[in-house]
Amino acid sequence: MENFFNISEEILSASEKAMELCSEKLKEIDEIQEYNQHKMLKAFHNARVSESHFTATTGYGYGDRGRDALDEVYAYVFDAEDALVRHNFVSGTHALTVALFGVLRPGDKMLSVTGIPYDTLRSAIGIEGNYPGSLKDFGIIYDDIALKDGLVDYQALEQKLDSSYKMVYIQRSRGYSVRPTLTIKDIERIVKTVKSINKDVIIMLDNCYGEFVEKTQPMSVGVDLMAGSLIKNPGAGISPTGGYIAGRKDLVEMCSYRLTTPGTGKEIGATLGLNRELFLGAYHAPHATGEALKTAVFASALFNVLGYEVSPNYNDSRGDIIQVIKLGTPEKLEQFCAGIQHSSAVDSFVTPYADDMPGYEDKVIMAAGAFTLGSSIELSADAPLREPYAVWMQGSLNFHSGKLGIMLAADEIFKGK
């Protein structure tokens, strides 16, 4: 094959070996992609998606049929009673925050069972910073159970949980931590334990990065409400912005009153001509997620061959599209990120460096040459500048580009030392 990027012989042969190692896993992912693609098509057929649904609405957006059909599509693929899919959600954090404020009331208690939530949610809950308008400011009581050896501490959960809690909060993906991601099986076990103690508690899931990774949906194992970002898995790199909330009908309705106003809820909100891209993003989401998963598996195998500690391993079961590689030094982090950046279709000629980021405690280095700003279903890598100098990488809209990005990242480290 033509070596357009002058990749070293050593990395080329390590890559060949990595492909052999993960060939079975890649086939498994193919099968999940196919299942979820068929389900997505079924959702489109059920909702009778039609060209007329792509028509732009303005102003109040009354009677926007596309908006309603899009909710129906996502509700079906997520096995949810209802969904709220809107470009108006400015981020995943926003969708999650609307869900929290949608269902919690002053005096209510929430319990996070997967340790402290993802960095950007901490200020919204009131765990970090002291922002007016946080859940804490509104009198909502937050508590958490730290993970034990990276897993849910069931003993502590059984001791702490009682009927006084209104919500149990679960984060599926690892975020910027080194703990393993929860698989659907893990989520099922948490739900069963929680419901056996308090059957009325609302189980809410941060589903970011988990969409379409497995065949079974969180709703099917008892999760009541979940939220995520359309510039991750469920938007396939095509949705230009947005987020979703899905789950029990009564809870989604409450969230819609928080997003717009009590009374208008889901019935309002102009889509401004974005429906076509949101539908196209949904349509491609199962495939794009699979391509990102394949890229993560290849990265795991390649860096394993090259002697690095990786998590998950290439043959492990996965609950999200994130791959962590412990590189060990800040220099290697920078080289890795440079390689990812230089493989991108967009902004291939720039080199990323570490800097302060709003919402994050440590300096962060981020590599992304994305068509959509901040889109992490596109190949991207982030690393907070702290021990153990691990990089969190995810995405790629197609495996061939993703594989090349990983090879260039490895090559950059190889040539840099």
Ligand X SMILES: *Cc1c(COP(=O)(O)O)cnc(C)c1O
Q: Which residues bind ligand X (CB under 6 A)?
A: 91-93, 118, 120, 171, 173, 175, 206, 208-209, 229
- Judged by CB, which is closer to ligand X: 168, or 410? 168
What's the closest the beta carbon of residue 117 comes to ligand X, in angstroms? 7
What's the closest the beta carbon of residue 208 comes to ligand X, in angstroms? 3
Residue 369 zone, left/alpha/beta (φ > 0; ψ -120 to 50; rest): beta
Distances (CA, A) of 247 to 10, 86, 358: 49, 15, 30
- Judged by CB, which is closer to ligand X: 1, or 373? 373
Give the up-direction half-sphere exposure of residue 299: CA atoms within 13 A in the CB hemisphere.
Answer: 37
- Judged by CB, which is closer to ligand X: 175, or 237? 175
What's the closest the beta carbon of residue 231 comes to ligand X, in angstroms? 7
Whether the link from the prior residue into 312 is cis, omega within 30° of 0, is: yes
What's the closest the beta carbon of residue 338 comes to ligand X, in angstroms? 23
Interstrand relation of 390-394 and 323-326 (parallel, antiparallel or unpaired)? antiparallel
Nearest residue to ligand X, scored by beta-carbon proximity? 92
- Judged by CB, which is closer to ligand X: 66, or 234? 234
What's the closest the beta carbon of residue 171 comes to ligand X, in angstroms? 5
For the range 56-64, what are the long-range contacts, defined as Cβ-Cβ under 8 Å and sequence gap of 24 or more? 56/270, 56/271, 56/272, 56/273, 56/275, 57/270, 57/271, 57/272, 58/270, 58/272, 59/270, 60/268, 60/269, 60/270, 61/268, 61/269, 61/270, 61/271, 62/267, 62/268, 64/269, 64/270, 64/271, 64/275
What's the closest the beta carbon of residue 118 comes to ligand X, in angstroms? 4
Beta-bridge mates of residue 382: 366, 392
- Judged by CB, which is closer to ligand X: 66, or 352? 352
- Judged by CB, which is closer to ligand X: 21, or 393? 393
How many separate helices (H) and strands (E) can be counted in the chain?
Answer: 11, 12
| Number of residues in the chain | 417
Residue 160 zone, left/alpha/beta (φ > 0; ψ -120 to 50; rest): alpha
- Judged by CB, which is closer to ligand X: 100, or 161? 100
C-alpha 329/C-alpha 203 separation (Å) is: 39
Beta-carbon contacts of 287 under 8 Å, excluding residues fewer than 6 positions away, are: 33, 37, 236
What's the closest the beta carbon of residue 226 comes to ligand X, in angstroms? 11
What's the closest the beta carbon of residue 96 comes to ligand X, in angstroms? 6
- Judged by CB, which is closer to ligand X: 173, or 335? 173
